[in-house]
Amino acid sequence: MNFIDLFCGVGGFRIAMENACLKGGVAPECVFSSDIDEAAREVYRANFGHTPHGDITKTQAGLIPDHDILLAGFPCQAFSICGEGKGFADARGTLFFEIARILKTKSPRAFVLENVKRLKTHDGGNTLRRIMETLAALGYSVEARALNALDFGLPQKRERVFVVGMKGPFTFTWPEGRAVMTPLADILETNVPRRYYASEAIRSARLRKFRGKAGAGGPAIWHENKSGHVSAHDYSCALRAGASYNYLLVDGQRRLTEREMMRLQGFPDSFKPLGKYTMVKKQAGNSLPVPVAEAILASLIKTRLLGAKPMDRKKKTMGRPPAGSPRQNQI
């Protein structure tokens, strides 16, 4: 099962795809990946063995290898409630049309896209409508649904819109998401260094604003929202790339560690986060909940892809070509 990984970040979609393929008895192969963020590309290289290409707007679609499925968690800031919400008026919002450009040229059998929940209601629903119409015009049957990571076993309330497309008519069976939530205690590390603890002033301020119960005997995540209200839950609210250091505090005391943030997104402990805390926080916040994407991909593979005929075109992998080669210069 050849796939490409656009706006790949540190590889959450790739992990989900590889897991879904292997559980479905299919051998996965990523033949192309791309992300404009240099730090994310370095983390991807350290974990998967090759460096993604950079700015997708500068990549000729015809040079991307043939593939069965396209994955893309395209930038969400243009549609996010925490961003300015400019949609297609924001350059990041128009990156969706890079996906459409590649779909038109390469015509893979299927795709799965991911974005924030607010994509459904942005501009009165016109933004998602335009996206769906664009994809349908390329010959795909398309469905979209918002799913919550809490329903797929992760102790993180993270609602995201997924868009699934398949060539020709098809009926997609969406995963129901009835997994038992992993206890927060299983996510949190023990013996956390003091550098992760908030200052006494911040902890006191949170306590003054807190108006609730601090959990039912187990650990809790204290969440301060944009209005300054502080609440506590036995799960985390959504990780955000650009939020303050202290908007999520374990038991109102300390920040999440790098490993804890990756676990909340469903990354395995074998995954190696790199760089400073601020960078890992950004990368975790920009990633997707792996078990949700994996369940969608597993359903897609089971529904149609396994019954499709194998590709008869020559397979090639688009890794990083030798320096100075014509292909590198074109890209």
Annotated catalytic residue within 8, 21, 30, 76: 76
- Which is nearest to 115 in space by CA: 62, 71, 84, 168? 71
Sheet holding 248-250, edge to edge: 230-233, 221-224, 248-250
**Burial class of 181 by CB neighbour count within 10 A (0 to 12, 13 to 18, 19+):** middle
> 166 with 154: CB under 8 angstroms?
no
Partnered with residue 233 across adjacent β-strands are 221
Beta bridge partners of 217: none
Q: How far apart are CA 16 and CA 162, in angstroms?
A: 14
Return phi, psi of residue 217, to 5°: 90, -20
What is the C-alpha separation between 85 and 76, in angstroms, rounded?
9
Contact predicate 69/109, CB 8 Å = yes
Say which amino acid occupies 191: N
**Both tokens assigned to 93:** 């919002």
Q: 53 forms bridges with which residues in the sheet?
A: 34
Active-site annotation holds for 76 = yes
Distance from C-alpha of 45 to C-alpha of 41, rounded to nearest angstrom: 6
Please say whether the beta carbons of 132 and 163 come within 8 A: yes
| 261 Cβ contact partners less than 8 Å away, ≥ 6 residues apart | 239, 280, 281, 284, 285
Q: Are 16 and 294 in contact (CB under 8 A)?
A: yes
Which sequence positions are flagged as catalytic? 76
